[in-house]
A and B are shown apart, each in its own frame.
Chain A
Amino acid sequence: MISDNQKYSVLDIRSLSARYGEVKALNNVSLTVRKGEILGLIGPNGAGKSTLIRVLSGILKASAGEVLLNNQNITSYSPANRARVLAVVPQARQLGGAFSVEQAVLLGRTAYLGFLGKPSKLDLEKTFWAMDQTSISHLADRKLAEISGGEQQRVLLARALAQDAPVLLLDEPTTHLDLRYQASLLSTLKSLVDQENLTVLMAMHDLNQVSSIADRVALLVDGSVYSIGDPEDVLTPDNIKATYHTDVESFNHPRSGKSIILPLM
């Protein structure tokens, strides 16, 4: 018997723990990312958001528990096989500045390229498509070192799209961007998720952005899941006070009806 949960889960995280040396970073985390949803991952600094993304993408080994990606243990995937299913959008730093935007996006095809890295027609098509979707086609020949932080973040999103993976993990993609770039990146992402039927797990800082874009929200604190569910059920003043140790007030947006969280000063 396959339960509904298994049927619709793309990422099934079961009692997952991870540590950096002696320091425990994740402690018995269980959550499911369902097909086609945007799951927002929030929590104060050090809650384990980035660590979770690193375990899910095979960078860090779990110390206990397991992760099933499409019902198959994540550790059984080769790097290339995993990269064809799951793409990561890191924060825009540590970019190889000597590469052009097009070269960088093409590296999203690494899992499909041979050892020599010679791109096929399909690889180039996917690259141009991804640049087009993220509105960076006009930057194709510019060096990464020469473009703005907002444009770099778009390059990373394009690279992940070129990877042609149905699951996207994003690590605070809007943190270093100004308001205009934050809004345009999130709306681009939102329309791509609908259009390409992607499944997204996204770590975020801005609670109002999470509230506006996420289908569900998981609130992490000290490496454990504090609360998970619909945004309005998770983003309550009580939950925020208990995890961020900050008094907030919550309103409903006059048009969308979604929660707005304001810290009290």
Chain B
Amino acid sequence: MLKRSFLLLTGLLVLAFVLSIALGAVTIPPGNALQILIGKLTGAEFSGSWPEYFETILWEIRLPHAILVALTGAALAGSGAAFQGLFRNPLADPYLIGVASGAGLGAIAVMSLPQVGRYLVPVGAFLGALGTIYAVYTLAKVGRIVPLTTLILAGVAIGSFTSAITSFLMLVSDQMILQAMGFLLGGSTVSGWEPLSIAFPYLLSGMTLLILSGHSLNVLQFGEEQAQQLGLAVEKIKILIIVAASLTTAAAVSFSGVIGFIGLVVPHVIRMVWGGDYKKLIPLSILGGGFTLLMSDLAARIVMAPRTLPVGIVTALIGAPFFLWILRRAKREVFW
């Protein structure tokens, strides 16, 4: 059962990846795309002929873009699943609880500083995410629990507040407003191999920590009190998971902008199909998140080609109705 789910999602991810590097304003036949890719990686020669610019488009633009998109989707879905487990709340998604907006503020704040390298953007986003999660958690806590209503209210309030500061920063430094606008809509403002190489260590370490936290998240599903009585060092574990999920969210946001709903929708589908065991849920969400964002990104690139829509618009168009559907069926949920 477990293996089948992993195989299925890995297959979907590979499929989405191949489509993503083949399709776009210029269509490269998937067969050619694969041959170019294998040729570049292994040095093998293929007899097929294709225009030389296929190779440039594929290697310099589409491949790094697809890897970054896949990693971003994986990061958002993985941290969404972790936040949901941590708060034991089906609506805790990096976007809804304001963490993504906080990371966006941190990123924009760093961008608006003169003479600061791109390398510091993830650091700013990480600090913004941590500050936001701390504020939301503190505000949302009633006694010893974090109820659904206060969590969402605090998330929305803090999210609006950070967005307002972000808008203000954009207005006072007007030369960056276009870049920042696209960023906030979840348009990828960066391309090429360099940003990918900066983002990679953050995303990889954050997601690895999240995958390893599956067992602790399982214990936490019985409530913090029982988890502590079962012998889990609850306070330490909570901080570890918050840091890992914030790091992952922040890295995704600083390179791909604020993309909503992936962190909410993907873990929900996984949970409905394969159950609520976090040892499976986190890695499966990561695979599913990569697949979903690749497909959304593909749609964003081809529906109005050669223009590219910000992918955040696509995920919101699909995600928002889905979110409403979850709200409606929440009453009879047994998989939570």
B-contacting residues of A (Cβ < 8 Å)?
54, 57-59, 78-84, 87-88, 90, 94-99, 103-104, 107-108, 110-111, 113, 115-118, 143, 145-146, 159, 163
Contact = CB atoms under 8 A, between A and B. Distances in A.
CB-CB nearest 6 A-B residue pairs: A117-B215, A98-B276, A83-B231, A111-B231, A96-B221, A80-B231
B222 A57 contact: no
Residue of A59, A83, A104, A107 with most partner-chain B CB within 10 A: A107
12 contacts: A59-B228, A80-B231, A81-B231, A82-B231, A90-B229, A96-B218, A96-B222, A110-B219, A115-B216, A117-B214, A117-B216, A146-B334
A99 B334 contact: no
Contacts of B134: none
Given A80-B231, A143-B334, A113 B215 contact: yes
Nearest to B225: A59
A104 B221 CA distance: 10
Given A79-B234, A96-B276, A115-B216, A88 B336 contact: no
A110 B232 contact: yes
Contacts of A90: 225-226, 229
Contacts of A99: 218, 221, 276-277
B279 interface: yes
A58 B225 CA distance: 9
B11 interface: no
A28 B243 CA distance: 40
Contacts of B229: 57-59, 83, 87-88, 90
B215 A94 contact: no
Interface of B: 212, 214-216, 218-219, 221-223, 225-234, 271, 275-277, 279, 334-336
Contacts of B219: 107, 110, 117
Given A98-B221, A98-B335, A107-B219, A57 B228 contact: yes
Nearest to A111: B231
B277 A107 contact: no
Contacts of A159: 230
Given A99-B276, A113-B215, A83 B230 contact: yes
A103 B218 CA distance: 9
B231 A110 contact: yes
Contacts of B336: 97-98
Nearest to B271: A98
B144 to A, nearest CB: 9
A115 B227 CA distance: 13
Most buried by A among B215, B219, B271: B215
Nearest to B144: A59
A167 to B, nearest CB: 12
Contacts of A59: 225, 228-229
B241 to A, nearest CB: 12
B213 to A, nearest CB: 8
Nearest to B88: A96
Nearest to B275: A98
A118 B214 CA distance: 11
B277 A94 contact: no
A159 B275 CA distance: 21
Given A90-B229, A95-B222, 9 more contacts: A58-B228, A79-B231, A88-B229, A99-B221, A107-B222, A110-B230, A116-B212, A117-B215, A145-B334
A164 B275 CA distance: 28
Contacts of B232: 79-80, 110
Contacts of B228: 57-59, 79
A98 B225 CA distance: 18
A113 B214 CA distance: 13
Contacts of B226: 88, 90, 94
Contact of B230 (A81, A97, A146, A163): A163
A145 to B, nearest CB: 5
A28 to B, nearest CB: 25
Contact of A103 (B225, B234, B277): B277
B227 to A, nearest CB: 8
A111 B221 contact: no
A111 B214 CA distance: 16
B208 to A, nearest CB: 12
Nearest to B334: A145
Nearest to B222: A96
A23 to B, nearest CB: 12
Contacts of B231: 79-84, 110-111, 163
B189 to A, nearest CB: 37
A117 B223 contact: no
Contacts of A116: 212, 214-215
Contacts of B218: 96, 99, 103, 107, 117
Contacts of B216: 115, 117
B141 to A, nearest CB: 14
A71 to B, nearest CB: 21
Contacts of A163: 230-231
A238 to B, nearest CB: 36
A98 B212 contact: no
A103 B336 CA distance: 15
Contacts of B225: 54, 59, 90
